[in-house]
Structure formats: C-alpha cells, structure tokens
Amino acid sequence: MSIVQGIGYLVIGFLAAAIIGMFAHWFDRKITARVQWRVGPPFFQPVYDLVKLLAKEVIVPEGASRFLFLSAPLFGLAAVSVVSALLIRTVIFPQQTFLGDLIVVIYLLTIPSQAVILGAFASANPLASLGGSREMKLILSYELPFVLAILVPVIKAGETIKLGVILQHQATEGAVIASISGVIAFVISLICMQAKLAKVPFDVPEAETEIMGGAYIEYSGAALGLFKLTQWMMMFVVPFFLMMLFIGAVNWRQSWLNIVWAALIYIGILLFITLVRNTNPRLRIDQIMKFFWAKITPIAIVAVILAFLGL
Amino acid sequence: MTPNRTQIIPIGPYHPLQEEPEFFKLHVEGEKVVKLDIEIGYNHRGIEKLAEGLTYDQVPFLVERVCGICSTSHPFACVNAIEDVGGFDIPERAKYIRTFVGELERIHSHLLWLGLAGHFLGYNTVWMWAWKYREPVLDCFELLTGNRNHYAMFKPGGVRRDFEDEDLPTAMRILDGLERPLLMFAKIAMADPVLQARLKNVGVLTYEDCVELGALGPTSRASGVPWDVRRDHPYAAYDLVEWDVVTTENGDVFDKVVVRVLEMLESVKICKQCLEKLREVRDGIDANYKEIPPGEGIGHHEAPRGEVFHYVRSDGSNRPIRYKIRAPSFMNVPTNNRAVVGYTVSDATITLAAIDPCYCCTERTIVVDADSGKQLMGWKELLRLSQEKTRKLMEKYKSRMDRVWI
C-alpha cells in the first residue's frame, strides 16, 4: 500500500466518521428532545455548531501547558480517524488485513479518552483535573469487561486477532450474536460503549451540574470543536466496531440490501444509547467502578468461558 | 493530613448548579468533601428598608418580588402580619382563596424543584417532564388570578380579585389531571434502582441536626421533624380543610424527594376542598380595613421551602416603621455544613440543591471582624454607607439618572 493510498483511506475514514458521527449526534439530540416533549434541533445543527466553534477564539488559560493543551484534541481526532479508516478498509477488503489489527483498534480507541485526560491536566484547572481523574477511573472500570467481551468473537472465529478473519468467519458461519455467549458479550460491550462515549449514566468526566464540563471546562473555540467532533466520530466508530465483531457488519458482497440492514442496526444501537441516557441519572464514579468490576466483569468472564465451551 | 492535600472545588459564584449567585467552597481530598465554606450575600437588595417607604397596601406587592418562585408566600406572611397588628379577621371566602393560591403555588414550586433535582443528577428527562406537568398549574394560575407567576392576589383584609364561578370547573379538571403524573413521579422515585443508588443515604440530616439548626419545611420533615406552621399555628383556611403533614424518617436526599412528592398530593387535596367550598361560601373577599393601629404583628406562612416569617411594627401611620423578613433558606442553608461534609463532590451538588435554596430571599448584610467576631457595622452604619454610595452614583451618572427618573 503506497503512501498516497494510505492518505486516501485516512481522508475517507475521517469524512465517513465525521459525517455519520454528526448525523448520530443530531439523531441523539432529536430523539432526546422528543422524549422530553421538546422540538429538537434542525438537521444541520451539528454542522452549524462545529463551524461556529472552529471560527471562535481559542483561549489558553494562564498557567496551562500550551503545547499539551492545544495538541490534546488533535491526538484524539487523529486516533479516531485512523480507527475509522482501518475499519472501513477491513469491511471493503477483509482479506487484506494485517495480524493484530484488532489489538490496534482497541488500543487506538482508548486514545481519545487519554487525550481528554491529557488536556484536562494540561489546563491547570481544579475542576478539569477532577474531570481528568474521573475519566481515568472510568477507563480503568470499563476497559477490562470491554476486552473480555471482545474475546468472545475472537474465540468464536477460531482464536484469531485479525478483524478480517472475524468478518469472513461470520459471513460464512453466521453472526457471533447468534449464540448465548455472543448475546451476553454484545450486551456487555453495549454497556461498556455507553461508558466509552461518556454518556449518562457514565458521564462523570463532564458532569455539567457537578464540575461544569470537567475536562472540557477551559476549552474554547476550535480546540473544543475538535473535541466535540472526536466525540461525535466515536458515536460512529465504536458502534460500527461492535457491529463488525458481533453481527459481521455490512456483508455487502452477498446483497446490496445488507447495507440498509446494517444502517438499521446502527440506528437501533444509537437509539439504545439515547434511550439509556434519557432514562437514567448520572452514577457516582465509585458506583461505576463497583458496577463494572463487581457485576459486569464476572458476567463477561462467564461469557468467555461459554465461548470456549462452544456455546 | 498536610494542608496541601486538600483542594478547593468552587461551586459558585456562578455555577450551572444553581441559578442564583452563591459561593460554596468545597474543601476536598480527592473526591471527598472534608470542609464546607458557605458564602452568600451577592444579591442583597434592601427589601426591608424599601418596605418602610411604602404604604400597607403597597408592601405585599414589594415582598412578592422577594422571590419569583414562592411569590405568594411572602405576601401571605405579610398580610398575616399586618392583620395581626390590628387583630383583624377576614371573610371566609377570602380565606379559601388565599389557601388555594398558597397550595397551588406549593405544587408548582415543588414540581420546579423536582425538575431541577433531576437536572442536577443528569436526569434531564425528569427535568423536562416535571416542568411539562408544571405548565397546567401555571395555566390554572393565569385563569384564576390573571398572572402566571406574580399573582398580586393578596391585600391586607382580604384578596384583590374574586374567582369567577365559571372558571372553577376548569381549575378542578387541571387538579384532577395532576394526580396521575404526581403518582407517576412517586412511582419513579420509589422504583428506580439507579435513582435510589444516587439518593439513598446521601446528605443525611438527623433529627437532632434539624432541631439544633432549626431546619424548616421539607428539609426537616424528611428527617422526621413534624413541624408545619400550617397545622401548628393555623391561619387562612388551613384549619377548615382536611390534610396531613407528611414526614419521613431517614433525612437523606431520597426522603426529601418523597416528602415533596407526597406534599404535592396533599396540596392537590387541599386545593380541591377549597374549590368545593368556594361554590358555597359567598361572604365577600375584602374586609376593607382603613386604619392600621399602632403596634406589632407577626405573620407566618409555610412556604414550599419552609416557614416564612414576617414582622411588622406600626406607629398608626399608613406605613410600617420596621419591617423584618426571615425566609426559610436562612435556616436551611447552614444545614449543608452537616449534610455535605463527609460525602463526595457528586453527592455535594445534589445535597446542596436538596434544601431547595433561595438565596436572594436569604440575603442580609452584617460586617464582622472574622477573627474576633466583633460586629463592625450595624444597621445605621450600613444605611449611611448605602446612602453615600447612592449619592456618588447619582453625581456620576447625573445625566442618565435624569432620564431614568422621568
């Protein structure tokens, strides 16, 4: 693969994630509004928001580490663009993936959260550092069950860590979700996704009414815009990643109708995220850690054992 | 513990948690609050002094502006105080109208608090739903009093406007429609495990704390202190209708939610009885007292946040020579020192909000030396300071002031 091709994939990955992510954000806000007896924003509201934020002045607080403060949003954006490119390329050419791309994706998916932590501590604000430390605890909470849940499709597809193989296995043998361990792992990964996207009940790092936006408190203008864009792109990338692992994503070679089917599943997952976030209050960080470690992780381990037994 | 291990998390003076200026300094270790500094006094408006320049007919309008949410509680206590000076009695119909307005206000205020409490927990759906069901209550106010928020219904000796007979069935229908959503909120609070995880055993105020600090209203009733001035010292029509004082035992934030939701159901009950009585009782709405004799009077009203206390002193002229207001938040805000310390920052926000604070009702000014506790400035010095400031401002903005006065 030449450099030009690589850059091409990156651009495609970025644009796809940005556009679908903006749609996801609008969908989230619209459904939320309808649940709450409100009208909701117009379709292009995320675009207006982003353009406005990009055009505004970036204020770097006194005492902040300027380089880290301004580069943190870029780290997150770069990582999520690479994941998006990788996933899209894998769906188009499942044979051409490299060994261990699954691990790379899991690794890159944590970078947006780490960028938030970095930016929070760089901004030298007590509320931001509280938000940063909460984000850190949040990662520690959900990452273990998330990886355990991902082990299930890995085992099902013949103990491979190649995303392409997992996809091809599902294209021929049926989706991972069609088994008991698959269902359990999928539900667990959905809950972990809610935490990864920092949505209620797991939105402790932002917690507007507690720590005023926490990690993002000092961010303004384009830097905030990039953080927001990263969040929206995550709303495409993470559900899409789960769809690849558990449902086989878009099996477009079989029939073009499968693309519509995949889009419907994606919207279903978005709906799940939105409804969960609208029917729950925010948990405390200690409650979240207890929830993930004491309740979700054992269930995830059971799912892995079931997968080993071939269920 | 070294001093630099504690960090200060500021809540205020401007914070999305509360819509009024207030300042809570949370001294935290990690996420745990170890100490709380309460600083209020950003919005002192000198209402008591203003009241001395107005006639008895005007004072209820002024004190109505003390608070925008419990905007009938202050006039209620005010007219009670003025009537207490002369020992006046008012027509029964006026009593029922007063009681109705007071209770309907409790419903709208508690619904507003319920919504905000949901918002503070990140549960924005509860926020929007509570405020949606608050809307018909405000419509009912508009229908019966002509205003949605500042009703201007009270005057010494009675009420200003009568309820029209043809409006009563609509009001009744609105009250009937409220019962279902209120029961729904009660059910949500009781049944939602996540809500319980956040609210149970959080911000606990014990019975002893409440008695010691003199906590009022739902804040104390959630701790099992059965204080309710409507029952203990009846006024208006509260001794003529059937209702119960709601108390719970645990004193945590969860119980404060429960007390408020159940109180709303009691209020619906009282309002309905008042409407029934208003069909029969027709003895006028105003006793038309012309003179306020010299003397002193006190008035209470159980506002949605607790007991409002007004004091008035008359010298026989047409305006008070001293007016004194004590809003319930004045007693409730210090309870935060007990309820917040020892819990986490996440708990602190909802606990601070759980007393349903109203800072601008509470503001008062006194200048003390922090070290010795000695009072540096009293009423007279502060008054002189304020007058000097006004004079300076008028000189500075003379040209603009002229326009304003015209």
- pLDDT, one tens digit per residue, over B218-255 is 999 999 888 888 888 888 888 888 888 889 888 888 88
pLDDT-based confidence at B107, cuts 50/70/90? Answer: very high
Contact across the interface for A36 and B120, Cβ inside 8 Å: no
Average pLDDT over residues B295-323: 90
Contact across the interface for B123 and A283, Cβ inside 8 Å: no
Contact across the interface for A210 and B346, Cβ inside 8 Å: yes
Average pLDDT over residues B66-91: 88
Mean pLDDT of chain B: 86
Q: Judge whether residue A180 has pLDDT over 70.
A: yes
pLDDT-based confidence at A142, cuts 50/70/90? Answer: very high
Q: Judge whether residue A168 has pLDDT over 90.
A: no
In this structure, what token pair is assigned to residue B13? 């003076």
For the stretch A92-139, pLDDT in tens is 887 777 778 888 999 999 999 999 999 988 888 888 888 888 889 999
Q: Suggest the residue from A136, A202, A209, A216 to mutate for an interface test with chain B (most B CBs closer than 10 A).
A: A209
> Which of the two residues, B405 and A297, has the higher pLDDT score?
A297
For the stretch B121-156, pLDDT in tens is 888 888 899 999 999 999 999 988 888 888 888 988
Average pLDDT over residues B305-314: 90
Comparing A269-283, B11-25, B170-184, the range with the smallest average pLDDT is B11-25
Residues 6 or more apart in contact with residue A37 via CB below 8 angstroms: B128, B129, B132
Percent of chain B beyond pLDDT 70? 97
Q: Suggest the residue from B27, B194, B340, B349 to mutate for an interface test with chain A (most A CBs closer than 10 A).
A: B194
Residues 6 or more apart in contact with residue A148 via CB below 8 angstroms: A185, A188, A297, A300, A301, A303, A304
Q: Judge whether residue A1 has pLDDT over 70.
A: no
**In Å, how far is B330's CA from the nearest CA of chain A?**
23
Buried b (16+ CB within 10 A) or exposed e, B23-60: bbebbbeebbbeebeeebeeeeeebbeebeebebeebb
Where are chain B's structural domains? 47-362, 367-406
B32 has which bridge partners? B29, B344
**In Å, how far is B193's CA from the nearest CA of chain A?**
10
Average pLDDT over residues A129-156: 89
Contact across the interface for A204 and B344, Cβ inside 8 Å: no
Q: Judge whether residue A49 has pLDDT over 60.
A: yes
In this structure, what token pair is assigned to residue B96? 């029922």
Secondary structure element (H or E) that encloses residue A273, with its range: helix A257-278
How far apart are alpha carbons B365 and A262 in whole angstroms?
65
- 16-35 in A: which are within 8 Å (CB) of B? 32, 35
Percent of chain A beyond pLDDT 70? 98
Residues in B touching A285 (Cβ below 8 Å): 31, 344, 346
Beta strand B375-377 pairing with B32-39: unpaired
Contact across the interface for A283 and B16, Cβ inside 8 Å: no
| B307 CB within 8 Å of a chain A CB | no
- Is residue B98 a contact partner of residue B281, using CB atoms and an 8 Å limit? no
Contact across the interface for B129 and A36, Cβ inside 8 Å: yes
Question: For residue B111, what pLDDT is reported?
Answer: 92
| A76 CB within 8 Å of a chain B CB | no
| A290 CB within 8 Å of a chain B CB | no
- 326-355 in B: which are within 8 Å (CB) of A? 344-347, 349
Contact across the interface for B8 and A126, Cβ inside 8 Å: yes
- Other CB atoms within a 10 A radius of the CB of residue A106 amount to 16
Residues 6 or more apart in contact with residue A262 via CB below 8 angstroms: A243, A247, A249, A250
CATH number for the segment(s) B47-362: 1.10.645.10
pLDDT-based confidence at A274, cuts 50/70/90? Answer: very high
Cross-chain CB nearest to B125 (options A35, A201, A204)? A35
Average pLDDT over residues A27-39: 91
**In Å, how far is B274's CA from the nearest CA of chain A?**
32
Q: Suggest the residue from B19, B31, B257 to mutate for an interface test with chain A (most A CBs closer than 10 A).
A: B31
Contact across the interface for A210 and B123, Cβ inside 8 Å: no
The string of DSSP letters for B89-141 reads ---HHHHHHHHHHHHHHHHHHHHHHHHHHHHHTT-HHHHHHHHHHHHHHHHHH
| B15 CB within 8 Å of a chain A CB | yes
Q: Is B357 left (phi over 0), alpha (psi -120 to 50) or beta?
A: beta
Chain A nearest-CA residue for B353: A209
**In Å, how far is B305's CA from the nearest CA of chain A?**
22
Contact across the interface for B31 and A283, Cβ inside 8 Å: no
Q: Report which of B287, B292, B301, B291 is spatially closest to residue B92, judged by C-alpha positions.
A: B287
Q: Report which of B148, B164, B147 is spatially closest to residue B97, judged by C-alpha positions.
A: B164
> Which of the two residues, A23 and B405, has the higher pLDDT score?
A23
Chain A nearest-CA residue for B29: A130
Helix axes A101-122, A163-173, angle to 10 degrees: 130
**In Å, how far is B343's CA from the nearest CA of chain A?**
11
Question: For residue B406, what pLDDT is reported?
Answer: 40
In this structure, what token pair is assigned to residue A55? 């055009």
Residues in A touching B9 (Cβ below 8 Å): 126-127, 130, 211
Contact across the interface for B198 and A281, Cβ inside 8 Å: yes
How far apart are alpha carbons B217 and B210 in whole angstroms?
10
Q: Judge whether residue B31 has pLDDT over 80.
A: no
**A80 half-sphere exposure, CB direction, 13 A CA radius:** 33
Q: Judge whether residue A216 has pLDDT over 60.
A: yes
Question: For residue A31, what pLDDT is reported?
Answer: 93
Question: For residue A299, what pLDDT is reported?
Answer: 92
Q: Judge whether residue B400 has pLDDT over 70.
A: no
